[in-house]
């Protein structure tokens, strides 16, 4: 597994070694010892989630869990393609409010590690994209939060216009990062 550091401390892109032949392919998508050694700390995943987005233009996020319910995530696409985004919400971080994005596809098999205290979201680039993520903490609905997907201060270059985007009702009304910070 190739671990690629990003411009934000703790966020990493993972490229597995894929073994293919005429039958198809095989790759190891997670190995605890190698993962911990590459990160320099232990992450114990306790929950796996999966979503399918039927249409190109769906944006899910930007979501996070607050406080002790915060979740580190290891995400990947099984089929289809997404642009995945992690936004640093650590107020004491020099990269607070900055983001890292990566295109994840069923074909490139890349994975994205997002530490705790980050907002996470993705834009669907191909219909019927299947997205999966491992979490190191259980989902707690009472700790759920979000940031509006098109926050001008974060300025994520989403591959979809405001007219094309497909959002859940909940994702249409999250506050901006600035408004969220005022209420802390």
Helix (H, G, I), strand (E, B) or coil at 12: strand
Q: Answer positive or negative: Cα dihedral of 174, 179, 181, 184.
A: negative
63, 117, 138, 139: the active-site residue = 63
Cβ neighbourhood burial of 181 (10 Å; 0-12, 13-18, 19+): middle
pLDDT of 29-64, one tens digit each? 898 999 999 888 899 999 999 999 999 999 999 999
Task: Give the span between the Cα atoms of 81 and 72, in whole angstroms.
Answer: 21
Whether residue 56 contacts residue 143, with contact meaning beta carbons closer than 8 Å, is answered with no
Which residues, other chains included, contact 36 with Cβ-Cβ below 8 Å and sequence gap of 6+?
Answer: 42, 43
Angle, CA 9 vertex, CA 172 and CA 13 arms, to 5°: 75
DSSP 3-state percent helix, strand, coil across the chain (nearest 5):
10, 40, 45
Is pLDDT above 90 for 180? no
Whether residue 86 contacts residue 112, with contact meaning beta carbons closer than 8 Å, is answered with yes
Residue with tokens 């703790």: 10
pLDDT of 101-143, one tens digit each? 999 999 999 999 999 999 999 999 999 999 999 999 999 999 9
Residue with tokens 């290891």: 74
Which residues, other chains included, contact 44 with Cβ-Cβ below 8 Å and sequence gap of 6+?
Answer: 136
Encoded tokens for 138: 């259980």
Look up the pTM and report it. Answer: 0.94
Question: Is residue 63 annotated as part of the catalytic site, yes or no?
Answer: yes
Q: What value does the mean pLDDT of the chain take?
A: 94
Mean pLDDT along residues 76-92: 97
Write down the pLDDT at residue 39.
87
42, 133, 138, 139: the active-site residue = 133
Cβ neighbourhood burial of 153 (10 Å; 0-12, 13-18, 19+): exposed
Query: Count of residues for the chain?
Result: 184
């Amino acid at each position: 597994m190739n671990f690629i550091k990003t411009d934000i401390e703790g966020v990493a892109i993972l490229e597995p070694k894929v073994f293919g032949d005429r039958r198809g392919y095989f790759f190891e998508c997670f190995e605890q010892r190698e993962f911990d050694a590459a990160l320099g700390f232990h992450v114990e995943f306790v929950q796996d989630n999966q979503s399918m987005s039927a249409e190109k233009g769906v944006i899910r996020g930007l979501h996070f869990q607050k406080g002790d319910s915060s979740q580190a995530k290891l995400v990947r696409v099984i089929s289809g393609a997404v642009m995945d985004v992690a936004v640093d919400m650590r107020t004491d971080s020099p990269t607070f409010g900055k983001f890292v994005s990566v295109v994840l596809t069923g074909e490139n098999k890349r994975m994205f590690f997002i530490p705790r205290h980050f907002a996470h979201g993705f834009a669907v680039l191909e219909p019927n994209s299947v997205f999966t993520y491992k979490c190191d903490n259980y989902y707690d609905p009472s700790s759920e939060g979000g940031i509006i997907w098109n926050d001008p201060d974060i300025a994520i270059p989403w591959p979809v216009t405001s007219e094309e985007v497909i959002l859940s009702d909940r994702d249409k009304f999250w506050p901006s990062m600035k408004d969220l910070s005022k209420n802390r």
